[in-house]
Amino acid sequence: MAAIHLALVTGASRGIGAAVVRRLASLGFDVAIVCKKNIEMAQAVAQECRLLGVCAEAFAADVSSEEDVSALMSGVQTVFGRMPDVLVNNAGIAAAGVFADMTNQEYDRLFDVNVRSVFLLCRAVYDSMVSQKWGRIVNVSSMWGVSGASCEVLYSASKAAVIGLTKGLALELGPSGITVNAIAPGVIRTEMLSCYDAETLASLAEQTPVGRLGTAEDVADAVAYLVSDSSGFVTGQVLGVNGGYIT
């Protein structure tokens, strides 16, 4: 009987992260559901997953904090009796504004959440994945990390850093049977779009060749492929889940 994989997903109480958790649970993965504050929502997602017959637990952690990540990994090992062999770094924040107006504090916050968290979690699972000669890491970037975006310069820079980390780590871990890939979502209908009115959302959908906005489930399906056994020859890649949106 094949071993049951354990997936740790960050930013997983709602939106893309929750969709990823539900998709992986439907495929038989045990899931560690990580959020920063919304533990009740994360626990509700965990309960949904348990109804699918897998082991699931919610954890609260600030994944930009080394201390919190250490405590998180200890908690995961206690609950599941093993380290994750699948890691989905989905936690992230956005910030918009003219570059000249951006503050040092906004810079630090964006890079702590969007980049430092990826570094800390990848480092946390590194040894265990290398030891077992198998692992899947998926880092959620953005289409703006590929092309850059006016008035979202720092966000673009942080998501571009995620891509650079992904490509370098893929080369380092490839000989150990571990793949590392990034997903660059386009315009996905989540709470991040709540600042846009209906007219703007309709315009964004019209600009997307497939004629609609993306969903969290679209991203989750891409993650499911990248963490599967079928993707063993795919590493160091940036998969654009964007409906053909040209940036």
Using the structure block, give the residue that is written with the tokens 């497939």.
210
SS3 239: strand
DSSP state letter for 96: -
User: Which residue(s) pair with 9 in the sheet?
Assistant: 33, 88
| CA 105 to centroid of chain Cα atoms | 23
DSSP 160: H
C-alpha torsion angle, residues 115, 116, 121, 127 (rounded to 10): 110
Catalytic site residue 155? Answer: yes
Q: Which residues of 115-147 are buried (b: 16+ CB within 10 A; e: fewer)?
A: bbbbbbbbebbbeebbeeebbbbbbbbbbbbbe
User: Which residues have CB under 8 Å from 65's CB, separation 6+?
Assistant: 120
Residue of 155, 196, 225, 245 marked active site: 155
176 CB-contact burial (10 Å; exposed 0-12 / middle 13-18 / buried 19+): middle
Q: Give the other-Cβ count within 10 Å of 174's Cβ.
A: 13
Q: Report, in this order, helix, strand and coil percent for the chain, each rounded to 5.
A: 50, 15, 35
Can you tell me the distance from the alpha carbon of 23 to that of 216, in angstroms, rounded to the nearest whole number?
10
Q: Known catalytic residues?
A: 155
